[in-house]
């Protein structure tokens, strides 16, 4: 029997935790297209590697169904990839680094771009909530001007249970969308 594949996209600004998110839940080692950031640069102190094309994780549901998770590259020069990755997605997760207000504007811009690509459900994951300087999720909602009907979920991308909760909320949103 032919296998059906469905996909979700994990997007967000540079270094917001997309790769970590997929790593936490994927049953295979993430097929990551990360490249070492040039050593001795400031970037290297933030993130020794960065995703230059996309990350790719997989969750097998049963013999007939497989879920793929695609992580978008964070850097704007690879944004031509976004629309390709968005094609046919069930929904998407926008990751926001809750400790870096300088990335909030970009997060909002990415969210709006993906909304324009496809009218699919999405959730916003307020990542790095385990850090002392993280903005609380509800403050992020106001700062990012995210409507009340959009789910904004506290997240720690390295915590599998938190990642599961985000994906489940996205799936519930997809079901709700089908019911309307």
Partner 1 sequence: MPRQLRGTLQDLHTTQLLHLINLAKKTGSLKLFEGVATGKDIIMGDGETKRPEVVPGAERARIVFREGKLVYAQLTERDNHLATILHKANKLNDQQYRVIRERAASATDKALALLLINANYVSQVDIMQSIQQHTLEIVYDLMTWTREPFIFEEGEMPPNGRITVPIELENVIIQGTLRMRELDQLAKELPNLDFALRFPEAPGEKLKKIQLGVEEWRVVSFINPKNSIRQIAKACNMTDMQIRKIVYGLLNAGLVELVKPQEAPSKSQIRRADSKPNITPPQRPVITKLIDRIKNL
Query: Which of 35, 76, 112, 131 touches partner 1 (CB under 8 A)?
Result: 76
Q: Is 50 in the site for partner 1 (CB under 8 A)?
A: yes
Q: Is 48 in the site for partner 1 (CB under 8 A)?
A: no
Q: Is 135 in the site for partner 1 (CB under 8 A)?
A: yes
Q: Is 79 in the site for partner 1 (CB under 8 A)?
A: yes
Please identify, among the stretches 28-36, 60-68, 123-131, 150-158, the one whose residues bind partner 1 according to the rule CB under 8 A: 60-68
At its nearest, how many Å lie between partner 1 and the CB of residue 173? 10
Q: Is 81 in the site for partner 1 (CB under 8 A)?
A: no
Which residues touch 43 (CB under 8 Å, ≥6 apart)?
Answer: 37, 50
Q: Is 65 in the site for partner 1 (CB under 8 A)?
A: yes
Query: Which of 1, 133, 147, 149 touches partner 1 (CB under 8 A)?
Result: 133
Judge whether 170 and 95 are in contact, CB under 8 Å.
no
At its nearest, how many Å lie between partner 1 and the CB of residue 150? 15
């Amino acid at each position: 029997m032919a296998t059906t594949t469905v996909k979700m996209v994990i997007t967000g600004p540079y270094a917001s935790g997309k790769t970590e998110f997929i790593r936490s839940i994927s049953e295979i080692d993430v097929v990551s297209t990360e490249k070492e950031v040039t050593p001795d640069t400031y970037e290297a102190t933030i993130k020794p590697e960065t995703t230059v094309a996309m990350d790719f994780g997989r969750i097998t549901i049963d013999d007939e169904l497989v879920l793929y998770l695609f992580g978008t590259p964070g850097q704007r020069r690879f944004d031509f990839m976004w629309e390709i990755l968005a094609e046919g997605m069930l929904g998407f997760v926008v990751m926001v680094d809750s400790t870096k207000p300088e990335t909030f504007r970009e997060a909002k811009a990415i969210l709006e771009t993906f909304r324009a690509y496809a009218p699919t459900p999405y959730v916003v994951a307020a990542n790095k909530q385990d850090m002392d300087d993280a903005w609380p999720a509800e403050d992020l909602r106001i700062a990012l001007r995210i409507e009340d009907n959009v789910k904004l979920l506290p997240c720690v991308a390295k915590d599998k249970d938190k990642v599961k909760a985000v994906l489940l909320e996205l799936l519930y949103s997809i079901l709700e969308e089908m019911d309307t």
